[in-house]
Amino acid sequence: MKNFLVDGMKVNNTNLLKLQKLYRKGVIKEDEIPEEQLNDLKELYKEQIYFLETSIEADKQMILRIKNKSGNFI
């Protein structure tokens, strides 16, 4: 399959998410992705991990506030 992102198309968030989806499905292999796009994909993964970590931490803090406020934990 020809990588539609390789043909000089500017990488943007939409295209990067499409690339990520194709990579996860195994349609595109790591060695088929140009270095610049691979670096962008790695950065996207880092950003997604950071978002998940901060979201989880915020949820933990909210649970603690609720627990401390009510004295019970469900």
Instruction: Spell out the residues 6+ positions from residue 1 whose beta carbon is closer than 8 angstroms to its own.
Output: 27, 28
Q: Give all strands (DSSP E) within the chain, no chain letters.
A: none
Within a domain: residue 3?
Answer: no
Residue 60, classed as helix, strand or coil, is: helix
Using N-to-C axis directions, what is the helix angle for 35-70 and 13-25, rounded to 10°?
90
Of the pLDDT bands very low, low, confident and very high (cuts 50, 70, 90), residue 7 is: very low
Within a domain: residue 6?
Answer: no
Count the Cβ atoms, other than its own, within 10 Å of residue 17.
13
Range(s) of the domain holding residue 55: 13-70
To the question of pTM greater than 0.85 for the whole model, the response is: no
Q: Do the Cβ atoms of 15 and 5 come closer than 8 Å?
A: yes
pLDDT at 60: 96
